[in-house]
Structure 1
Amino acid sequence: MLDRLHAIRSTLPPAAGRIADFIIANATEVVHMSATEVAERTESSEGGVVGLCLLLGARGFQQVKISLASDLVQPVQFIHEDLTKADNTATVI
């Protein structure tokens, strides 16, 4: 989602650009915010926030937040896949 925002940023009208800039700069916070809160912080409207979400190809703000959260998390490395029952304590640690 962040890559998509960067890609379309230069084509956005001023209000949508403010919203996009805010989301890019505050992605970690945005995943915990409502569309109304983003609108207030960017001096735009809730409709403007939802409109940007639709431009991004999302069904709404909730889907954008889910995509942002996915962008922000570090993949979990499953080390247990490399272990066997025969491994001793020294190997595991």
Structure 2
Amino acid sequence: MRLMWFTITIFVLSTFSGCAIFESAPYPPDKVEYPSGPLPPSVRPTYNLSGYPPATKEGYIDGCETAKKTRYGRKDENRYVTDGQYRMGWDDGFDLCHEK
């Protein structure tokens, strides 16, 4: 009888002691954090945009991925306001990919 109580006590203590040590993250996460700045070229999706300036290409990719709601979709607000080529590419990419 004494062994049974000892076993039950150890089981209960070990079960509840884990609750204070480990806290699980909320699911779904409260706030999704995206990396700041452009993604490295090895991670970004590729499109055949030969002949366009780099800013237009980057804007197109960002706009298209935003329209498709992928994890690569982001809009660099500061660049959108200050860089006309990026803005043109973003708008074109968003419009064309949003229609699909």
Q: TM-score range by the shorter chain?
A: under 0.3
Q: Which has the higher helix share?
A: 1
| Greater relative contact order (Cα < 8 A, sep 6+) | 1
User: Under a length normalisation based on structure 1, what TM-score does the superposition of the two structures give?
Assistant: 0.28
Larger radius of gyration: 2
User: Under a length normalisation based on structure 2, what TM-score does the superposition of the two structures give?
Assistant: 0.27
